[in-house]
Structure 1
Amino acid sequence: MIDYFEQLSQEEQEDITEVIQILYRQTFLLERKYDKRSGRMQYVREYRICSKHLEFLRAYYKVAGITLKENAHMGLIYIQGEALWGEKLPRLATIYLLVLKLIYDEQMASVSSSSYIVTTLGAVNGKAGDFRVLHGLPSPTEMRRTIALLKKYQIIEPLDVLEELNEHTRLIIYPCIHAVLMGDDIKELLETFGEEENIGDEAAIQSTFEDMPE
């Protein structure tokens, strides 16, 4: 493993180091992301680097008890292991994550031939309302902050200007939405949110992928 790394050029070594740090930080890499300047999905450089050195990186993470997996169908490379812990998110961000996963799964199960799903903010709030997990519509500021946070973690990509946020604001749901839960029943979890009257300001979501077909 060390011999493989040392035989690479300095540029390639730096690329691998960068990819390792990114995977530790966000647990996944997307093959393609939406580029607003071109208005289309663009291939991600770090994904190509990881794919090129996949076997080396698998051996590297295995030492730490972490599994590196690739789902070529969905365009994902991700790490999985008990040593990986999720971060605490605000309550609205947690609710939106659960709802987005539900919307994603529903559309993927219907007629979608793409691993990238487009929905609207109105649909997200409407679905959350169906489960009675929102006590009224969140403020525009809170919704903008939540969308910006989920964009930061590459869960979604807003297609419209956030300053003009409304129910028609379009959101791309990336396939890494699978990172939000480990096989739990989302509908039951959302119903639990609705039944609880005194939920704290923060809720924990483990950023670990559920089992997906290779």
Structure 2
Amino acid sequence: MIEYYEQLMQEEQEAVTEVIQLLYRQTFLLERKFDKRAGRLSFVKEYRTCSKHLEFLKEYFKVAGVTLYENAHMGLIYIQGENLWGEKLPRLATIYLLVLKLIYDEQMAEVSSSSHIVTTMGAVNGKAGDFRVLKGLPSPTEMRKTISLLKKYQIIEPLDVLEELNEHTRLIIYPCINAVLMGDDIRELLNTFNEEENIGDESAIQGHLEDMPE
């Protein structure tokens, strides 16, 4: 494994090191992310580096008890492991995460040619309202804070200015959401928020998310 790395040119070694640090820091690598200046999805160079050296990187992370996965169809590379810990999500962020996954799955079933889905804040709050998991519409400040948090985890990418956030604000839902909530029954989890004894209680859902790495 070390021999493979040492045979690389210095520039390539630095690129591989950067990818390792990036995966530990943000968990996911997307093949394409939205470039606001270009106004379109653009390829991510770190993803290409990771894909090129995938077998070496799998062995590297394996030593640390971490598994490296690639989903070429979704354009996603990510790590998972029991020793990777993330922060607890606030109630609204957890609700939005589940709703976004539901919207993502519904739209993917209709348009399977793309791994990226676009929705709006109005659709997200409307879907949450359908499940009666919000007492009322969150304040603009609370919504902006929550959207910023989910953007940090590369779950979504706002296409419009957050300072002007409203029901028409567009959001790209990245395929990272599949790695966070893979295999969960989203509707059932959302229904737990509709039970009176769980109002204001995050514990009903966070057991499913506590292994979400930072």
Give the TM-score normalised by the residue count of structure 2. 0.91
How do 1:13-28 and structure 2 match up within 5 A? 13-28=13-28
Instruction: Confirm or deny: 8 A CA contact 1:23 1:79 kept in the other structure.
Output: yes
Q: Who is 1:67 aligned against?
A: 67
How do 1:155-170 and structure 2 match up within 5 A? 155-170=155-170
Indicate the RMSD between aligned Cα atoms, in angstroms. Answer: 1.7
Q: Matched residue pairs, number?
A: 208
Q: Secondary structure at the match of 2:12?
A: helix
Q: Does 1:197 align with 2:202?
A: no
Q: Who is 1:32 aligned against?
A: 32
Instruction: Confirm or deny: 8 A CA contact 2:133 2:193 kept in the other structure.
Output: yes
- More divergent stretch after superposition (124-133 vs 61-70): 61-70
Of 170, 186, 207, the residue aligned with 2:212 is 207
Which residue type is aligned with residue 6 of structure 2?
Answer: E
The offset of 1:161, in angstroms, is 1.1
Instruction: Confirm or deny: 8 A CA contact 1:90 1:202 kept in the other structure.
Output: no
Which sections of structure 2, spanning at least 5 residues, go unmatched?
A: none
Give the TM-score normalised by the residue count of structure 1. 0.91
Supply the distance in 1 between the matched residues of 2:165 and 2:23 (Cα, whole angstroms): 31
The offset of 1:201, in angstroms, is 9.3
The offset of 1:200, in angstroms, is 4.5
Supply the distance in 2 between the matched residues of 1:16 and 1:38 (Cα, whole angstroms): 26
How do 1:164-183 and structure 2 match up within 5 A? 164-183=164-183
Q: Does 1:85 align with 2:90?
A: no
Q: Who is 1:114 aligned against?
A: 114
% same residue: 80
